[in-house]
Structure 1
Amino acid sequence: MSLSFHIGFNGQCKEAFEFYAEYLNGTIGTMLEFKDSPVAASVTPEWQHKIVHANIVIEQVELAGGDVNPEQYQKPQGFNILLGVKSESKVKSLFEKFAIGGEVVLPPQKTFFSPCYAIVVDRFGVPWKFSCGK
């Protein structure tokens, strides 16, 4: 059995996965455009270079995603991706990168359960929580 997460993007899947690969040391596996898939005929010419399916592995966890037609896209809600890192400086560094063009929910701070904890919705609409252990 395997468990992964699949996120629908509003036409920004490739950009998001390249961002995650850079800042989370992820390895992109698949990056399949609509034009190269069996469903190519079902999308507009402008959408041919958007991503029908992609996956990235970050610390042995797979994140999958794809671009959703604009009329069907819904901003992710009801969950956060929780990323545990080793240091306060890493929480702050990731938070700074992910907050650019995004929405700050909770800036990095000490909590009763973490020396440094932060919440941000990145510019791709994906909600993240960053935390470090004691």
Structure 2
Amino acid sequence: MQINPYLFYDSNCEAAFKFYEKVLGGKIELMLRNAEGPPEMGTAPDRMQKIMHARMSIDGEVLMASDAPPDHFNKPQGFAVSLTVNDPAEAERRFKALSEGGSVNMPFSKTFFSKGFGMCNDQFGIPWMVNCPLED
């Protein structure tokens, strides 16, 4: 069995995935637009270029997402995407990149349980936790 995060965006999935590709070193494997779906889907003309399904690989892990229809989008809450990075400097770099244009809930710093840990919301509203564990 495999469990993967599936994120819903407020019409900015493509921008978010291009951002993650850049700052997390991910590789976009699929970016399926509504226009590529069957005509019977009945997609509104202004939603044709929005993302129906996206898939990204990041260091062997998979992140999936789509643009939620406007009447189905809810602000993300009650979860965070957790990123574990073994090198403290690299963990801090990724935390700073993810939090740029967003908000920091807990600044990245050493804790009793890690070499570095921080919590933020990225510029797309997605909550992240970046952790550099004590053990390698």
CA distance in 2 between partners of 1:126 and 1:71 (Å): 19
How big is the shift at 1:41?
Answer: 4.8
Structure 1 pair 6–39 and aligned structure 2 pair: CA distance change class (3 A): farther
- By how many angstroms is 1:39 displaced? 5.9
Letter paired with 1:116:
G
Match of 1:27 in 2: 27
CA distance in 1, matches of 2:44, 2:107: 40
Task: Using the TM superposition, give the Cα deviation of residue 73 of structure 1 relative to its aligned residue in structure 2, in angstroms.
Answer: 0.4
Runs (5+) with no aligned partner, structure 2: none
Q: TM-score normalised to the size of structure 1?
A: 0.92
Residue number in structure 1 paired with 2:38: 38
The structural deviation recorded for 1:96 is 1.6
Per-residue deviation, 1:38: 2.0
TM-score by length of 2: 0.91
The percent of aligned pairs where both chains have the same amino acid is 33
Task: Find the residue that maps to 1:46 and give its secondary structure.
Answer: helix
| Secondary structure in 2 matching 1:71 | helix
* Counterpart amino acid of residue 74 in structure 1: N
Counterpart of 1:52 in structure 2 is 52
Superposition deviation, residue 64 in structure 1: 0.6
1:87 corresponding residue in structure 2:
87
More deviation, 41-50/53-62: 41-50
Separation in 1 of the partners of 2:39 and 2:78? Answer: 29
Contact 2:5–2:81 under 8 Å retained in 1? no
**Residue number in structure 1 paired with 2:116:** 116
For 1:40 and 1:79, locate their aligned partners in 2 and report how far apart those are by CA, in whole Å: 34
**Does the 8 Å contact 1:26/1:57 carry over to 2?**
yes
Shift of 1:46: 1.6
Cα distance between partner residues in 2 of 1:126 and 1:50: 18
Q: Structure 1 CA distance, aligned partners of 2:24 and 2:87? A: 14
Residue 11 (1) aligns with residue 11 (2) = yes
Aligned residues: CA RMSD: 1.5
How many residue pairs match? The answer is: 134
Deviation at 1:42, TM superposition (A): 2.4
Q: Are the aligned partners of 1:85 and 1:91 in contact in 2 as well (CA < 8 Å)?
A: yes
Large movers: runs of 4+ above 6 Å: none
SS of the residue corresponding to residue 125 of structure 2 reads: coil
Letter in 2 for 1:130: V
Give, in whole Å, the separation in 2 of the partners of 1:94 and 1:54. 22
